[in-house]
A and B are shown apart, each in its own frame.
Chain A
Amino acid sequence: MSACRFALAAGVLLAAACATEQNSASTASPHLGKAMTDVELAFWDSAILIDGSNLPAGSGSSAQGKVVYQQKCAACHGATGTETDTRLTPLVGGRGSLATAQPVRTLGSYWPYSTIVFDYIRRAMPYNAPKTLSNDEVYALTAYLLQANGIIGEAAVMDRTTLPAVQMPNRNGFVMASENVK
């Protein structure tokens, strides 16, 4: 209760903050944070974790994704995603190249988890209109890019269950830098 003692000594403002604070923390602290509604929390808590938690409802196939890709992505990333004249990292290709002198690090050859593809497209792409795709479109684009990289078959449909189950070729390729290993 030291926060309350401090508040009494410091005057009315802090005392008020202290009174509304249920958790009475041990330090003298302003406690000016506001609670969030469940709707707010659900809206903002959008990052997809590698176990697939937070993946939304919806689904998409690579055939559907190919259509969206041509409309909304190809202008920058090239017609097939393998293009190297885009000044962007290709989205497709490079498998088996990581241990060579000319590695090509794509989402297919390099990224360790399939969920990253969904997470990144949903937060950042298309570059000129981010956060405008529907969840179905993001699933479809993810399916298309995974299929184009030869990681899933043409018939596979991606959703919150199937996507996290996809094993990426470089799943075990990353080593935690020693400074973080406990």
Chain B
Amino acid sequence: MSQADASAEPEAVAGNGLLHRRLFLTRGLTLAGAMGVAGHAHAQVAPPKHPEWMMRQGTGLSGYGQPSKFEDGVKRIMGQPNPLTPTLGSTRTPLEKLTGMITPNGLHFERHHSSVPDINPDAHSLLIHGLVRQPQKWDMSALMRYPMTSVIRFIECSGNSGAAKRAVPQTSVGQIHGLLSCSEWTGVKLSHLLDETGLADGASWIIAEGAEASSMVRSIPLKTALDDVIVALYQNGERIRPEQGYPMRLLVPGCEGSVNVKWVHRIKVVNGPGHSRDETGQYTDLLPDGRALQYTLILGPKSLIIHPSVGMKMSQPGFYEISGLAWSGHGAVRRVEVTADGGKSWADAELTEPVLSKCLTRFRMPWSWNGGPATLASRATDDRGNVQPTHAVAIANYGEVGAYHYNGIQPWAVAQTGEVANVRM
């Protein structure tokens, strides 16, 4: 305690130990002193020596860098595919093993309705036809010459978090909520190409088709297509990975994952939605009265505390940084509130810059855990004023039987043992 200002107790902002979000910016040093240094120098320890990697050469240069072998456990979380159709299914981003807002390309979640095609880019083109003045096709070399735009945007499968709707799974946060990733996408604005084809009378939707074995088709309102949709060619600076749509995919910011058609090769401009199997039989929200919502495209405001989260164990009482992700398909995250007392009191978390539209935003909140039971949760509000709903309201919005579009608040309970569990609040 020698250097600490004893009068400068960290300022509590809500119940059960939540501290002011600007703690680090203004008082980092004071706090470090006040919290003390863990461990003591008195114990008998082996005399220091150089580790072996400081005493001989390591490996050489490499053509494509890979993570350290000590990070070998950082892998996508694999599903359990049907043995008859082993290439169909999903893998999830291991959210609990990552931080920041960008998902490394090899860890971007996958959801395939058949498999990953092995597309030769020289034999792939993009066709635009239907209610246009001049149907046209572009090969890769032509598209590469168009003006490009880059945006950082999340993609979330509408089935993400579905497991948390009717059950309270005790699997990892990535297993429950990891159909969620975020990348910088670079490509050609679809409006640019539609400008060149021209639009005919009655054009109001587009139908986009992928070039995989099952040729998935999804419909998108023309209004959205002309707004911010891009034909994406690059992901985080390199060409899109095969499992993300190589050589091109649609990026439909803020809209459910499956309309971000991977391996896109054809766009038909039409006068109404196509009602394909993947927008009737799948990805629709069946309500208790038997009716179903269709074309629920924009994903609602949502947030998750990732550190700490289910399955983790807090080693001892004391200072922790709560951190997590927040996003909204409607726009930018304006605010994330955090509670440590099961929703009795809430306080605003610090949003880590940059805070972008339709993009993951990292939030952080200092917390002094007193060693007692605590229920942590976060609640996002976007810049349109949409607030992340409770579990009950989310279910009322989209029904309980389907797995889609669930964005309810996710609470975690910290027990006195430090173990973190999934709970309802």
Contact = CB atoms under 8 A, between A and B. Distances in A.
B85 A127 contact: yes
A103 interface: yes
A123 B296 CA distance: 24
A136 B162 CA distance: 39
A179 to B, nearest CB: 5
Contacts of B291: 173-175
B311 interface: no
A169 B109 CA distance: 36
B146 interface: yes
Interface string A86-117: 01110000000011010101010011110010
A50 interface: yes
Contacts, number: 152
A124 B215 contact: yes
A159 interface: no
Interface size grouping (class) on chain B:
35 or more
Contacts of A58: none
A130 B214 contact: yes
Contact of A174 (B88, B134, B284): B284
A45 B214 CA distance: 15
B275 A45 contact: no
Contact of A45 (B129, B274, B277, B294): B129
A98 B290 contact: yes
Given A34-B137, A119-B277, A173-B290, A41 B284 contact: no
Contacts of B139: 34
A131 B212 CA distance: 11
Given A105-B281, A174-B284, 14 more contacts: A30-B147, A32-B143, A33-B137, A47-B268, A49-B270, A98-B286, A98-B292, A113-B275, A116-B280, A119-B276, A127-B214, A176-B295, A180-B221, A180-B297
Interface of B: 82, 84-85, 88, 113-114, 127-130, 133-139, 142-143, 145-147, 192-193, 195-198, 207, 209, 213-215, 217, 221, 266, 268, 270, 274-277, 280-281, 284-286, 288-298, 401
10 contacts: A29-B196, A34-B136, A76-B85, A98-B290, A103-B401, A105-B286, A110-B292, A113-B280, A124-B215, A130-B213
